[in-house]
Amino acid sequence: MAIRHFLSLLDLSPTELNHIIKRAIELKALRNQGVNAPLFHNKVLGMLFEKSSTRTRVSFEAGMAQMGGSALFLSSRDTQLGRGEPIEDSARVISRMLDLVMIRTFGHNVLQRFAQHSRVPVINALSDSYHPCQLLADIQTYTEHRGNPQGKTVAWIGDGNNMCHSYINAARQCNFELRIACPEGYEPDQSLLNAAGDRVQMVRKPIDAVRNANWVATDVWASMGQETEHEERIRTFAGFLVDHELMSHASSDAVFMHCLPAHRGEEVSAELLEDNTISLVWDEAENRLHAQKALIEFLLKHSSSIN
């Protein structure tokens, strides 16, 4: 049995993805009944962070503890990685001591290089290219509130960033139609669009993406690592705010999602974010906990690590 990594949503088959979402919903129900089965007893997750995090760190760390395992927070500022020890060497050493590793980093190639030299499953906890763990939570959230997203229309408004890329992969895996509205120059990677075919459509105006959509999602205009571009991006992205007015063009059962943290008054209005008849952001954040437990269970079950 080979080692299974989760660097993008495409590392799972649609059937496997479906299984993980179902299991996440099941694990959530069990936790709500006070059941935390010690399925990860003695398992240790390493958490390598090169960027900040609230949800990702808390959900992985709490998730491991609740399932009988533990997690190690490893900031690049405090490890030898931050002083230039090669990724390949770090991967070989760390993966001999732990059972799984999650990495939040800049270049996606860091994850690929780590995974190539790792004896244990590696999880992408956000790179400049993808944020697949967030999509597990988003798909779980849509499924809980509105059912299977297959055949639905999803609108992505704003930057063609790591989240947008993961929505493109989700459109392929879940078979929904995705309409993306980005300002000129901020489009997602063309090769991902080509691979997704006619499931994904690019439009210029947010209203054209949102019309009759079942699910509308956005994200910050300046991602981690783009802080110096923030002011310029605010000017370029004017007109890409998601608010009640924009949502009024969507389907009457449309939901709003945002991976958080949100910038109220920039990409989303404070009123929409707080309107829990439309906005699912708090469930979406909570579901990181449940979806990642299901993911870890799947990766451990389907990997024969040497440890």
Q: How far apart are CA 141 and CA 150, in angstroms?
A: 14
CA distance 110 to 30: 36
Which option in ligand NVA, ligand CP, none does residue 269 bind, with CB closer than 5 to 8 A by kind?
none
Residue 131 catalytic?
yes
For the chain, report the end-to-end CA distance as a whole number of angstroms. 14
Q: Which residues bind ligand NVA (CB under 6 A)?
A: 126, 131, 161-163, 219-220, 223-224, 259
Q: Which of 219, 233, 258, 292 is catalytic?
A: 219
**Longest pairwise C-alpha distance within the chain:** 55
Integer Cα distance of 177 and 199 in angstroms:
5
Tokens representing residue 62 in the block: 């709490």
Q: Which of residues 119-138 bind ligand CP (CB under 6 A)?
A: 126, 134
Q: Which of these ranges, 47-55, 105-113, 227-235, 246-254, lies near ligand CP under the rule CB under 6 A?
A: 47-55
The residue nearest ligand CP at its CB is 56
Residue of the chain from 110, 259, 268, 295 that contacts ligand CP (CB under 6 A): 259
Sheet (strand 100-104) strand order = 70-75, 44-49, 100-104, 122-124
Give catalytic status of residue 104 as yes or no: yes
- Choice between 153 and 284, CB closer to ligand CP: 284
Residue 219 appears among annotated catalytic residues? yes
**Cα-Cα-Cα-Cα dihedral sign, residues 145, 151, 153, 156:** positive
- Distance between CA 36 and CA 34 in Å, rounded? 6
Judged by beta carbon, residue 89 or residue 229, the one nearer ligand NVA is 229
Among 21, 23, 56, 297, binds ligand CP (CB under 6 A): 56
Q: Which stretch binds ligand CP (CB under 6 A): 11-19, 48-56, 109-117, 242-250?
A: 48-56
Question: How near is the Cβ of 260 to ligand CP at its closest, in Å?
Answer: 5
Residue count at the site for ligand CP (CB under 6 A)? 8
Please give the helix or strand (H or E) that residue 70 lies within, else none.
strand 70-75
Q: Which is nearer to ligand NVA, 126 or 210 (CB)?
A: 126
- 33 catalytic, yes or no? no
DSSP string, 72-123: EEEETTTSGGGGT--HHHHHHHHHHH-SEEEEE-SSHHHHHHHHHT-SS-EE
Just list the catalytic residues.
104, 131, 134, 219, 259, 288
